[in-house]
Amino acid sequence: MAISGRYTAVLDACVLFPRLQRDVLLSLAHADLYTARWTQEIEREWTTSVVEKYPDAVEKIPKLLEQMRAAVPDCLIVDYEIFIPSVILPDENDRHVLAAAIRGNADAIVSLNTKDFPAHVLAQFDVEIQTPDQFVLNQLMLNPPKALTAIKKMRARWNRPGMTAADMIDLFEKRHLVQTAAHLRDVTELI
């Protein structure tokens, strides 16, 4: 297992399910702004939800997972199960996420379910919780040139239909990345 010296975040299934959040989080990781990590169990959770909502997506999932793993080398955390019994969270079904964060030496968990990861519990393991909006905005503030370039490249990939910078910012806002959208409005010409 390689351990990164960079800030490391475990991406919860709920932030990998929505295409926009998944794409921006992985784009920022691919740009070497942070190390993104997850587990096969997290993959199973979000891909199962995608197939439940979009049954036609079942054939696309293996290729998508392959692309994600190729874009973010060493993303999978393994051998984390030993930590699960020692983790106490409000929702027992989320224990595997914190266990993965512990095993993967993560600094943060990125999740929409912040109430399921109480700060006082995470602090025992030197892990913090951030929403996707907080996390993306932090990356933009910490390294604006790299982060904006990553988002610009992401927008270029979204070529069906062609999307203007303003369109993408609107989409960020609609997809609950409100603080990020507000920040990007100030630098629209850069994305």
- Are 95 and 167 in the same domain? no
CB 152 within 8 A of CB 190: yes
CA distance 73 to 29: 10
Residue 113's pLDDT is: 93
- Are 170 and 121 in the same domain? no
Express each pLDDT in 45-54 by its tens digit.
999 999 999 9
- Are 31 and 74 in the same domain? yes
Residue 72's pLDDT is: 93
Backbone angles phi, psi at 32, to 5 degrees: 65, 30
CB 50 within 8 A of CB 57: yes
CB 134 within 8 A of CB 154: no
CA distance 22 to 39: 15
Residue 5's pLDDT is: 65
Q: ∠159-74-77 over CA atoms, to 5°?
A: 115
CB neighbours of residue 84 within 10 Å: 16
Report, as ranges of residue numbers, the positions in the chain whose pLDDT lies below 50: 1-3
Q: Is residue 3 part of a domain?
A: no
* Nearest one of 10, 46, 4, 35 to 139, comparing CA atoms: 35
Structural domain of residue 174, as residue ranges? 136-190
CA distance 11 to 35: 10
Counting the structural domains of the chain, the total is 2
CA distance 71 to 176: 24
Q: Is 85 helix (H, G, I), strand (E, B) or coil?
A: helix
- Are 91 and 172 in the same domain? no
Structure tokens at 5: 């010296």
- Are 166 and 78 in the same domain? no
Q: Is residue 1 part of a domain?
A: no
Structure tokens at 34: 């942070």
Q: Is residue 36 part of a domain?
A: yes
- Are 35 and 124 in the same domain? yes
Strand residue runs (E) in 71-161: 108-110, 128-130
Q: Is 129 helix (H, G, I), strand (E, B) or coil?
A: strand
Express each pLDDT in 124-165 by its tens digit.
999 999 999 999 999 999 999 999 999 999 999 887 677 899
- Are 113 and 149 in the same domain? no
Q: Is residue 62 part of a domain?
A: yes
Residue after which a domain boundary falls, among 113, 131, 149: 131
